[in-house]
Amino acid sequence: MQLRYGVAAFALTVGCFAGSAFAQPVKIAYIDPLSGAFANVGEAGAAQFQAVIDDINAKGGVLNGRKLELVKFDNKTSPQESLIQFNAVTDQGIRFITQGNGSSVAGVLIDAVNKWNERNPDKTVLFLNYAAVDPDFTNDKCSFWHFRFDANSDMKMQALTSFIAKKPSIKKVYLFNQDYQFGKQVSKAANDMLGKKRPDIKIVGDEFIPLGKVKDFAPYVAKIKAAGADTIITGNWGNDLSLFVKAAREAGLKSDFYTYYGGGLGTPAALGAAAEGNVKQITEWHMNIPGTKVEQFAVDFKKKHKIEFYYGRVNVEMRMLAAAMNSAGSDNPAKVAQALEGMFLSTEIGDVEMRKDDHQLMQNLYISTFTKADGKSVKYDVEDTGFGFKTDIELQRKDTMLPTTCKMKRPV
């Protein structure tokens, strides 16, 4: 906190006196879906980035008064389209990109950035990943040019299973995931970690459903019920989550849901009262954590855009980028990347650290439950449902860390 305010104040002063308002803005390319099935998610993400950037600019910008500028590129959640957009980004001379929706896209972008930087050492590009959670990106496939600001799926599973391990009432777990890379990883991690931490827990089902194709979840719920599961772990998002929970509650299934994306855009509204008390999520932040400095910002954001400020990590990502530029004294991606490595920062949502070994952000994680808003411990509801998230447990940064297999190759 000290560092950031200090720098901001310094930048503001210098900015005013030096009159560098004419300096070129630092452009950040946002490559995410702005059309197609996930356009709503992409648009919401863009609005949140823009709000944080506006705030940074209002407080003096970066590098003695230069502004940050978000440039949006539509990749339609498609890896091929993302490569085309990446070409457009490099053509326009933009040196920073950020993306989050889909590990399939992020994987392609990491390769593209690596290749580009190898061939164009004087025009390097830096990739800031805010939501693609494939653990490989900070393990075997790690890259000097990639930084991840979301906890990867293994870290989240580690946190969830530690929490589950302390609940003796949990006896039978059902794994319910989407049939693609991410869902498979959730399932594998759950199997491994539960097996170690609570060998007595029986995994009574390990189901994969086709991504976004199922309309009626009642048959799956009947199957889960027949299996006698008391707890369900799911990496599902969007309708694959909300329809599932609705069908479960309709059939009177009493199991608890441990989700990755229970608070994701549109999900709480679709869940409504169906989710009260039994849907949990794991996030780096939510509205009802007392004492975070981002609360008012999030309230203002919601008032203006009519959607929730969901990505606490977008805030962290932009503040860290600004701090790294300022401490490197440059907008050269290589120098910024060096400044980011191992960087420690006090942010609005707490202290965070960018691990040098693998470029994975370490931050506190929260497991919270969908609970009726009462204006006190659950001060804010989400998506005007009358329900908000209430913290069950706060996991400290150091407890979320996992060893990495990354052997980072740094440019000489």
The counts of H helices and E strands in the chain are 13, 15
Q: How far is the CB of 239 from another protein (least distance, A)?
A: 6
> Which amino acid is located at 386 in the chain?
G
Nearer to another protein, 252 or 375 (CB): 252
Q: How far is the CB of 106 from another protein (least distance, A)?
A: 23
| CA 15 from centroid of its chain's CA atoms | 32
Long-range pairs of 336-344 with CB within 8 A, sequence gap ≥ 24: 336/96, 336/126, 337/126, 337/144, 337/145, 337/147, 340/147
Q: DSSP letter string over 322-365?
A: HHHHHHHTS--HHHHHHHHTT-EEEETTEEEEE-TTT-BEE--E
Q: Which of 69, 51, 61, 67 lies closest to 312, judged by CA? A: 51
Q: Which of 251, 227, 253, 277 lies closest to 262, judged by CA? A: 277
How many C-beta atoms surround the C-beta of residue 239 within 10 A? Answer: 17
Structure tokens at 82: 């993302």
Which residues does 174 contact at the CB level (< 8 Å), separation at least 6?
Answer: 203, 204, 205, 206, 207, 224, 227, 229, 231, 232, 233, 255
Structure tokens at 361: 């952000």
Q: Which of 351, 352, 370, 350 lies closest to 361, judged by CA? A: 352
Q: Identify the three-state secondary structure at position 177.
A: strand
Q: Contact at 8 Å (CB) between 312 and 294?
A: yes
Q: Which of 345, 314, 353 lies closest to 5, judged by CA? A: 345
> By rule CB under 8 A, what count of residues binds another protein?
39
Taking residues 37 to 76 in sequence order and writing x for each that binds another protein by CB under 8 A, - otherwise, the string is x-xx--x---------------------------------
- Burial class (CB within 10 angstroms; exposed 0-12, middle 13-18, buried 19+) of 6: exposed
Q: Using the rule CB under 8 A, is 195 a contact of another protein?
A: no
Position among 140, 192, 250, 394 found at the interface with another protein (CB under 8 A): 250
Q: How far is the CB of 43 from another protein (least distance, A)?
A: 7
Residues 272-331 that bind another protein (CB under 8 A): 272-273, 306-307
Q: Using the rule CB under 8 A, is 9 a contact of another protein?
A: no
Q: How far is the CB of 268 from another protein (least distance, A)?
A: 9
Q: How far is the CB of 226 from another protein (least distance, A)?
A: 5
Q: What angle do CA 71, 136, 77 make, to 5 degrees?
A: 35
Nearer to another protein, 384 or 392 (CB): 384
Position among 91, 169, 215, 410 found at the interface with another protein (CB under 8 A): 215
Taking residues 119 to 158 in sequence order and writing x for each that binds another protein by CB under 8 A, - otherwise, the string is ----------------------------------------
Q: Which of 137, 120, 119, 136 lies closest to 128, judged by CA? A: 137
Taking residues 335 to 374 in sequence order and writing x for each that binds another protein by CB under 8 A, - otherwise, the string is ----------------------------------------
Position among 270, 299, 393, 402 found at the interface with another protein (CB under 8 A): 270
Nearer to another protein, 71 or 307 (CB): 307
Position among 209, 229, 322, 325 found at the interface with another protein (CB under 8 A): 209
Q: How far is the CB of 128 from another protein (least distance, A)?
A: 25
Position among 16, 18, 88, 218 found at the interface with another protein (CB under 8 A): 218
Q: How far is the CB of 42 from another protein (least distance, A)?
A: 10
- The stretch among 83-91, 142-150, 152-160, 213-221 that binds another protein (CB under 8 A) is 213-221
Q: Using the rule CB under 8 A, is 239 a contact of another protein?
A: yes
Q: Identify the three-state secondary structure at position 214.
A: coil
Q: Using the rule CB under 8 A, is 208 a contact of another protein?
A: yes
Nearer to another protein, 221 or 320 (CB): 221
Structure tokens at 265: 């855009």
Question: Which parts of this chain interact with another protein (CB under 8 A)?
Answer: 37, 39-40, 43, 179, 207-210, 212-216, 218-220, 222-223, 225-226, 239, 242-243, 246, 250-252, 265-266, 269-270, 272-273, 306-307, 383-385
